[in-house]
Amino acid sequence: MNTLAVNQTSTLRWDFQQDVQAYAERGFEGIGLYRRKLDDVGLDAAIDCLAEASLQVTSLSWAGGFTGSDGRGFQEAVNDGMRAITEAANVRAETLVVLAGGRNNHIRRHARRTLCDALARLAVVGEEFGVRLSLEPIHAGCGNEWSFVNDLDTVLDVIHRIGSPNLGIALDTYHVGMNEDVFALLPDVVPHLNLLQLGDGRHSPLGEMNRCLLGEGCVPLGDITQQVIEAGYEGPIEVEVLGEDVESMRYEAILDHAADYLRHVVQHARS
């Protein structure tokens, strides 16, 4: 059965304890941790808080930036990735989400080679710690500075180049779900899928991420979820809702809506 969860970026202004309490109260079984919030509360306090609420950590976000687009050197980014793996292991996260980093004036071939070098190293460490890595594609319209990996085809190519069973995919529907090609690719994606994140938007990403309430945008969330589950995916399903369209709403209302919508979509996909 798929663990239903919320990513902490959905309630960015709340502290760690508020997130945990609110998610658990609404019947979510898991939580996608954001490293900045984990740093704020401290590892030991986070572990105790999660245990008290019986919340499973479905993911930890994020490590990466191997191309130097965020000002760090390659080895610094790899070292940070290793720290993230140990953090993920300590909180028993199901996967560590990885972002490639922006192209940063590299030719695409060099950027891909740099990414593969980093992931090959981290996959070995992740396997030792029992943490799976999940490379996430980010839509070019809102995340070129975060990742030059913008589509599922590129993610699949990187996975095949590295050939590690410890490297998989984080699929965020906000970034790839508006592309009609997603349905043709899902049969190839699902065997490598570690994390399904549900995000919706009223238009294709452009500039800052702007997600709307689930089901109120143009992403075919129900069809994607149904095809993924029918293909045998049993991993976690996270909600991620943030942006201008929802910033005036109370977090409680966003979570209430997300809980109802997610249960409906998953129940329909399983029926």
Cα 266 to Cα 59, 175, 176, 269, 270: the distances in Å are 19, 20, 19, 5, 6
Q: Are the beta carbons of 23 and 253 closer than 8 angstroms? A: no
Confidence of residue 169 (pLDDT cuts 50, 70, 90): very high
Confidence of residue 139 (pLDDT cuts 50, 70, 90): very high
pLDDT for position 223: 97
pLDDT for position 69: 85
Residue 235 backbone dihedrals phi, psi, to 5 degrees: -80, -175
Q: Which two tokens stand for residue 17?
A: 């304890």
Confidence of residue 269 (pLDDT cuts 50, 70, 90): very high
Residue 145 pLDDT greater than 90, yes or no:
no
d(CA 227, CA 241): 22
Q: How many CB atoms lie within 10 A of CB 162?
A: 19
Distance, CA of 231 to chain centre = 20
Q: Which domain holds residue 48?
A: 4-270
pLDDT for position 125: 98
d(CA 238, CA 240): 7
Torsion angle in degrees (nearest 10) through CA of 206, 177, 144, 74? 160
Distance, CA of 126 to chain centre = 17
Least confident of 70-74, 131-135, 210-214, 215-219: 70-74
Total domain count, the chain: 1
Residue 244 backbone dihedrals phi, psi, to 5 degrees: -60, -35
d(CA 183, CA 64): 27
pLDDT digits (tens, 9 = 90+) for 148-165: 999 999 999 999 999 999
Q: Are the beta carbons of 78 and 118 closer than 8 angstroms? A: yes
Segments of the chain assigned E as strands = 4-7, 30-34, 56-64, 95-99, 132-135, 167-172, 193-198, 237-239
pLDDT for position 207: 87
Q: How does the average pLDDT of the chain come out, rounded? A: 96
pLDDT for position 226: 97
Residues with Cβ < 8 Å from 247, sequence gap 6 or more? none
The one-letter amino acid code at 266 reads: V
pLDDT digits (tens, 9 = 90+) for 182-195: 999 999 999 999 99
Q: Are the beta carbons of 211 and 245 closer than 8 angstroms? A: yes
Q: Are the beta carbons of 55 and 28 closer than 8 angstroms? A: yes
Confidence of residue 104 (pLDDT cuts 50, 70, 90): confident
* Cross-strand partners of 167: 133
pLDDT for position 43: 97
CATH number at residue 114: 3.20.20.150
d(CA 9, CA 197): 12
pLDDT digits (tens, 9 = 90+) for 16-54: 999 999 999 999 999 999 999 999 999 999 999 999 999
Q: Are the beta carbons of 132 and 168 closer than 8 angstroms? A: yes
pLDDT digits (tens, 9 = 90+) for 224-235: 999 999 999 999
Confidence of residue 134 (pLDDT cuts 50, 70, 90): very high
